[in-house]
Structure 1
């Protein structure tokens, strides 16, 4: 399950505004604002979570599982070759 904080931070890492993010995920800007207003679990349908995860991963984000400090995100390392 993605958290509002992960989604907010992933969008920030990619430099995506809410308009662009909404276009890529088909999730309304109002819904994005509501999701990101909480650090906790993002209460999404399976379809919404899948669309959000796919868009962010295709953009270059990697989701980090719970590691004692909570789940997170980072940009995927690019192979220089």
Structure 2
């Protein structure tokens, strides 16, 4: 599952606003804003996390763990 910081990093890498991510993922802006402030697993439903993950992945983001097992992203051309 995604860490909140990964959601924020991915959205910023794609240069999407919270509103744009909300529209694309059908997850509310308030849920996204709350999720992005969590250091670990965001306090939201699994369905919301899966919607955010699939939307960001479709935009070209791969979610990874860094060498020290921290949350990270890798950017690819969008699908």
Q: Which moves more between the two structures, 1-10 or 61-70?
A: 61-70
5+ unaligned residues in a row in structure 1: which ranges? none
Match of residue 51 from structure 1: 51
5+ unaligned residues in a row in structure 2: which ranges? none
**How many pairs were matched up?**
77
Counterpart secondary structure, 1:67: coil
TM-score if structure 1 supplies the norm length?
A: 0.84
1:22 aligns with 2:22: yes
Deviation at 1:43, TM superposition (A): 2.4
CA RMSD, 1 decimal: 1.4
TM-score if structure 2 supplies the norm length?
A: 0.86
1:36 aligns with 2:28: no
CA distance in 2, matches of 1:66, 1:47: 25
Match of residue 9 from structure 2: 9
Deviation at 1:71, TM superposition (A): 1.5
Deviation at 1:69, TM superposition (A): 4.5
Q: Decide which structure has the larger Cα Rg and report it.
A: 1
